[in-house]
Structure formats: C-alpha cells, structure tokens
Amino acid sequence: MTDKDFSPSGYTIDKTEGKVTYKSPSNIALVKYWGKRQHQIPANPSISFTLDTCTTTTTLTYKKLDNRSTDFSFDLLFEGKPKEDFKPKISTFFKRTEPYLPFLKNYHFSIETSNSFPHSSGIASSASGMSALALCLMELERELNPGMDSNFFKKKASFLARLGSGSACRSIEGDLMQWGDHKDTLNSSDLYAIKYPYKVHPIFKNYQDTILLVDKGSKEVSSSLGHNLMHDHPFAEQRFDQAHKNLSKLKSIFEEGNLLEFIKIVESEALTLHAMMMTSMPYFMLMKPNTLEIISKIWAFRASSKTHVCFTLDAGANVHVLYPEKEKEKVYQFISNELVAYCENGQYICDQIGKGAKKL
C-alpha cells in the first residue's frame, strides 16, 4: 500500500453530529525506533508490547459547521480542564492528516481526554493519546462511509496515529506490534504497524511490565529533537542495521520462548537507544543515577534468583521491568524490597501486555 490508498475518493453519508469514545493503551518498544525521515517514516523497524493499564481515554464530539472553516475548529479538555498547551500538537496532527481526512474542516470538534496514569509520571502519553484520537476520527470516517472494511479501519487508524507520534501507530492493536519495513517480516510497512505475524511462545503471553517512576519531571529533550539528532549521527547506519538484525533474530526467539536470548536483545536495545543520545551532537543523557542503581540490582538479582527479569527504557529515566507471569511472585517481592526505594516518592505502575484499543 502507499499513502495514496488512505485518501478517500468521497463519502456516501452526511453526518451532522455525534460522539465517540476510545480507550487506547501505551506501548513499550523491545526493538527501538530512534531516527526518522520526512513524514514520520521510521529510519528502522521496531517492535513493541502493547500495554494494558497505561491508557488514554478520548471522547470526540463533532458537529458539522454551516460553512467549511478555513482553519481547524476544536477545543480541548484534559482531565476536565481546558489545556491550551496541548493544542499546537493537535493542530499539527490535523494538518498532517487532512489529506487523508478531508472532512476535518467541515466540523467543530470537542476533544476530551484523560490518562489512567498521572500526567507528571514521565510516562509519554503521546502513543496512547494520538492512537485514541486517530481511532475516534476513523469512527467518524466510518459513519461517513459505512461499508468500510474492519482491516482497513485498523490499518488507517495506525497510519493516522503514526502522523501524530511515530510510536502511536503500534498502540491500535496488541499484543505484539511491528512497525517499519523489514525484509524478514511479511507485510511489514513504514506506513503503519501490523500485528506480529509469526508464532509466539506462550511464555510471552501475559508478560509483566512494572514501570518504576524514577524521575517524574518533564523530559529535558523531546523525542522529536532526539530523532532529528540521528541525521548526522556518526553511528546511525550501524544502529539502523542492528535494529533490522535484532528483529530477524527475534523470530526464532519468540517461537522457541528463548528468554535468555530475548533478554540480551531487549537490554542491548535499551542501552543502545541511550548510547545514541549520549553520542549525538549535542549529546545528552536521560538516565539518572537511580536508573543505573536499578539496572545493576536487576542484573544481580537475575544472577542469584535464576529468574528471567530484565529491563528496558524509553526516552527517559524510568525503568520498565519485564518478566514472565509465572515469575511474578518472586520478582514482585524483589521489586518491592529492593527497587521501590529508587523511585520518586516510591511510585511505580504494575502493567502487563494488553490487547489494544477499545471503543467504549
């Protein structure tokens, strides 16, 4: 498919007003997306676990205008209150998606959104937020074009979410999502994410993710800035190549349930992501001393307990602690005894792999 396939040729129904609500999850990448080309095309393919508990719920109320407006007409409530500083991101999203949603200027939209996790937790809400909004808009498009096929609906929702925030395209479905062209993954695309199409061992079902909130402050360097610094990065080509290779290696790891090899790839990907930040120009560091304390505790506990606990990081200081469900009791004990002390105000979130977004 090309982006042209997402431009509708016309609509069969006229819809004057309505309301739709979606709850969409966040996701955590195992092979990381870091670096992009124009139009939110990823520099390398990535794969993620869709989460379950960390979600954004968005209600979109739409009302047709008497005359098509010259600009996008919308208001935004975040957790019940007007939120002016979120509006530029939504305007950019509307601008980027308008060629594929030509009805946008025909309506006034009220967007009401809230997160299941505290806003100041350092957890990025862009994946859950942009995917929820993309799904609400797709629901309106389906009203205008009732014959729409459900596979196309999901693909286009992912395509639109990508234009809001790259990683958001992996939040539409679960439980394992891949985004980006990859020679060893059938039907993979730079334009949208797909459900991982190969066999996955039951050990990866219900995988646990305990998110340790090490630093709840807002990010010092935005991910868009970080992605841009990959353009003239001295290690960019090797890094992109490594991501392709790691995805190929994961195929037999997922099939066989090889946790030792899984851990190697996941932890190496997390550290490589941060290594890219530390070796860009300007260089920056998002890990905090407590991030490193937690990592070394995890390594020591894994060696002594013979469990398969491991960590990954996103673009921040928080640590995602990953482990199979059957080791939950042991690992949870370890987390509460040894790791919670490194979290800001002792805060953490217990999450697990989820099935994707839901219409409410």
For the CB of residue 33, give the shortest distance to ligand PMV in the complex, in Å. Answer: 3
For the CB of residue 167, give the shortest distance to ligand PMV in the complex, in Å. Answer: 3
**Total site size for ligand PMV, rule CB under 6 A:** 15
For the CB of residue 150, give the shortest distance to ligand PMV in the complex, in Å. Answer: 25
Instruction: Give the one residue of 6, 22, 33, 107 binding ligand PMV; rule: CB under 6 A.
Output: 33
In this structure, what token pair is assigned to residue 235? Answer: 């290690």
For the CB of residue 224, give the shortest distance to ligand PMV in the complex, in Å. Answer: 6
Using alpha carbons only, give the angle 98, 100, 106 rounded to the nearest 5 degrees: 50
3-state secondary structure the chain: CCHHHHCCCCCCCCCCEEEEEEEEEEEEEEECCCCEEHHHEECCCEEEEEEEEEEEEEEEEEEECCCCCCCCEEEEEECCEECHHHHHHHHHHHHHHCCCCCCHHHEEEEEEEEECCCHHHCCCCHHHHHHHHHHHHHHHHHHHCCCCCHHHHHHHHHHHHHHHCHHHHHHCECCEEEECCCCCCCCCCCCCEEECCCCCCHHHCCCEEEEECCCCCCCCCCHHHHHHCCCCCCCHHHHHHHHHHHHHHHHHHHHHCCHHHHHHHHHHHHHHHHHHHHCCCCCCCCCCHHHHHHHHHHHHHHHHHCCCCEEEECCCCCEEEEECHHHHHHHHHHHHHHHHHHCHHHCEEEEEECCECEEC
Contact status: 55 vs ligand PMV (CB under 6 A)? no
Contact status: 46 vs ligand PMV (CB under 6 A)? yes
Q: Which is nearer to ligand PMV, 26 or 116 (CB)?
A: 26
Contact status: 126 vs ligand PMV (CB under 6 A)? yes
Contact status: 24 vs ligand PMV (CB under 6 A)? no
Contact status: 128 vs ligand PMV (CB under 6 A)? no
For the CB of residue 222, give the shortest distance to ligand PMV in the complex, in Å. Answer: 8
Please choose, from the candidates 212, 219, 206, the residue with its C-alpha nearest in 3D space to the C-alpha of residue 295: 212
Q: Which is nearer to ligand PMV, 314 or 344 (CB)?
A: 314
Window of 32-40, 153-161, 211-219, 328-336 that interacts with ligand PMV by CB under 6 A: 32-40
Please choose, from the candidates 83, 33, 88, the residue with its C-alpha nearest in 3D space to the C-alpha of residue 223: 33
Contact status: 315 vs ligand PMV (CB under 6 A)? yes
Residues from 191 through 210 that contact ligand PMV (CB under 6 A): none
For the CB of residue 227, give the shortest distance to ligand PMV in the complex, in Å. Answer: 6
Contact status: 167 vs ligand PMV (CB under 6 A)? yes
Contact status: 32 vs ligand PMV (CB under 6 A)? yes
Contact status: 223 vs ligand PMV (CB under 6 A)? yes
- Cα 141 vs. chain centroid, distance in angstroms? 23
Q: Which is nearer to ligand PMV, 20 or 273 (CB)?
A: 273
Contact status: 166 vs ligand PMV (CB under 6 A)? yes
- Residue 91: count other Cβ atoms within 10 Å of its Cβ: 13
For the CB of residue 326, give the shortest distance to ligand PMV in the complex, in Å. Answer: 27
- Do the Cβ atoms of 167 and 27 come closer than 8 Å? yes
Residues from 337 through 356 that contact ligand PMV (CB under 6 A): none
Q: Which is nearer to ligand PMV, 92 or 336 (CB)?
A: 92
- Do the Cβ atoms of 318 and 123 come closer than 8 Å? yes
Q: Which is nearer to ligand PMV, 65 or 285 (CB)?
A: 285
For the CB of residue 127, give the shortest distance to ligand PMV in the complex, in Å. Answer: 6
Contact status: 314 vs ligand PMV (CB under 6 A)? yes
Contact status: 165 vs ligand PMV (CB under 6 A)? yes
Contact status: 319 vs ligand PMV (CB under 6 A)? no
Residues making contact with ligand PMV (CB under 6 A): 29, 32-34, 46, 124, 126, 165-167, 223, 227, 273, 314-315
